[in-house]
Amino acid sequence: MKKILIFIGVLVFSTTLFAAKIDLAISSSDVTISPQQPTSSDSVSVSVKVNNLGSKTSKASVVKLKVTKGSKVVFNQKNAIPAIIANDFTTTSFSVGKLNEGSYTLLIKVDPANAIPEKNEGNNKVTLTLTVSGGGGGDNFSAVVANVVAMTLSSSLGTISTIGTGESIQEKSLLSKVYEFFNIVKHPEDTQSCGKSGSVEFNYDLDSTQLRIAKLEFNYNNCQEWDDESQNSYTSVNGAMTIELSYLSDNVTSPDFQKIGEMIIKCGDGNPASDSKPDYSVSYYQNGQLFDTFVSDYTLTVGICGYDDSGMPTCMGIYINGESDYSSAVSNVNYKTTFNNLHYDVSITGSDSDMTIGMTIAGTCTTVYDNNQSKKISVTYNNFTVTAHTTDTYEEDTMVGLMDVVSPCYTGSISIETIVPIYQANDAQCPSEGKLKATAGGKSAYAIFNSDGSISIDLDCNGSIDSTIPNCGDTLKYPC
């Protein structure tokens, strides 16, 4: 028995001695990160050279890469590597992908389970720090700023302009849009010709009292209305829209009997998965040429929460859920926007010819560009405020507040404040004046609206122009 034990001990010692002639090793110089100074728009890869400094061939093994940001693991992968002969090496690569702006820790370890006995176990791992900037030369940060500004203006003012029967987006007379619904009751169910060409069919249902409209239905058949006949500029509307109304009181003698409590507007059939009714579309033509087309299939709920002494609404709560498809003939982009309980608290003062509309925005708006899920930006508004002053000749907007952005090239909070109000003439397609400041991740930038319709970006707010977007419509592009 004693001889057997001695034999086993010698065998174990011999095996250990043999294995100890293997020495897998990596150092910081054996790690290559590409690109060396990545931005949040770059796809990061890590190449690792694994050496065998021993005198014997190693067994097949594993190399592990773990990437952390603070306490959060953002990448964790093991790559198999083959046996390495003495004094030779092998190389393995990791495709990490895009990383958000910030500082990361990279831990690279060969034979992480210590499955191979080695003469030196202390040279099996390397820890490195990687810093990812916000965007190559600031271009991505510029694009994200311009994009979220465009999304905010489009989703707030653009969406509100659809409350009505599809007039030009330049016309922001919200009060007249709400109350023109009542004018339909003066006419029988009918088909009417539109100002330039086409027609619109409409009918309505009365509620149980037979005194109030409960449901309006519009079917637009290439209905073209002049915006400016002398310039051959017009708006074309096609598809179906349904408006369902409820009221503050069912008591015929109550002052609230004729006051709208809620409107539900369905563009198309209000269900993107169904096509029981044609999608609602609005196209804008300038000088006879298509400028923009907006196609919608969603349900818009509008709750009116206040009236003035004359019975006109002075405060609204607008909730949007659903999807809306958009394509632009100018910037040559297509995108789909999903509204997730996007909520506007709207206050209105003034008259139709000189009106101020205040909007506090909350909820989430997510846009996918070119039908590509990898091209997606999501904005969640944290009681963000937009104030629009509209007159017969111009509109002037201010924006201030915080929003959370999730996109492949930037994830985090962006703060927006108005330095100079955004000014746009009613017959113009782009603002001609205005200045916004955006702050995110320790960076700041000015977005400056110019008289020629372009937008200049001043990164770091130092007075120098770092990039220029030629046309305001070009902001509606994927930000990365």
For range 112-117, the mean pLDDT: 88
Name the band, by pLDDT with cuts 50, 70 and 90, for residue 16: very low
Instruction: Give per-residue burial for 96-117: e unless 16+ CB within 10 Å, then b.
Output: bebbbbbebebebbbbbeeebe
Q: What pLDDT digit, counting tens, does each position of 246-290 carry? A: 889 999 999 888 888 888 888 888 887 788 888 888 888 888 888
Please answer whether residues 81 and 50 qualify as being in contact, where contact means their C-beta atoms are separated by less than 8 angstroms.
yes
Structural domains in the chain, CATH included, are 19-133 (2.60.40.10), 137-475 (no CATH)
Q: So what's the pLDDT on residue 476?
A: 59
Q: So what's the pLDDT on residue 428?
A: 79
For range 313-318, the mean pLDDT: 70
Strand order in the sheet with 61-69: 72-81, 61-69, 102-110, 125-132
Q: So what's the pLDDT on residue 167?
A: 36
Average pLDDT across the chain, whole number:
78
**Residues 274, 275, 280, 283: is their CA dihedral positive or negative?**
positive
- Does 299 or 451 have the greater pLDDT score? 451
Q: Which of 84-98, 381-395, 432-446 has the highest mean pLDDT?
A: 84-98
208: pLDDT strictly greater than 80: yes
Half-sphere exposure at residue 441, Cβ-oriented, CA atoms within 13 angstroms: 20
107: pLDDT strictly greater than 60: yes
Q: So what's the pLDDT on residue 50?
A: 94
Q: So what's the pLDDT on residue 92?
A: 95
For range 81-95, the mean pLDDT: 93
53: pLDDT strictly greater than 60: yes
Q: Give dist(CA 262, CA 14) in Å, integer.
A: 86
Least confident interval from 36-40, 184-188, 308-312, 337-341: 184-188
For range 386-404, the mean pLDDT: 88
Q: What pLDDT digit, counting tens, does each position of 140-192 carry? A: 566 667 667 766 766 555 544 544 323 333 333 334 444 555 555 555 578 88
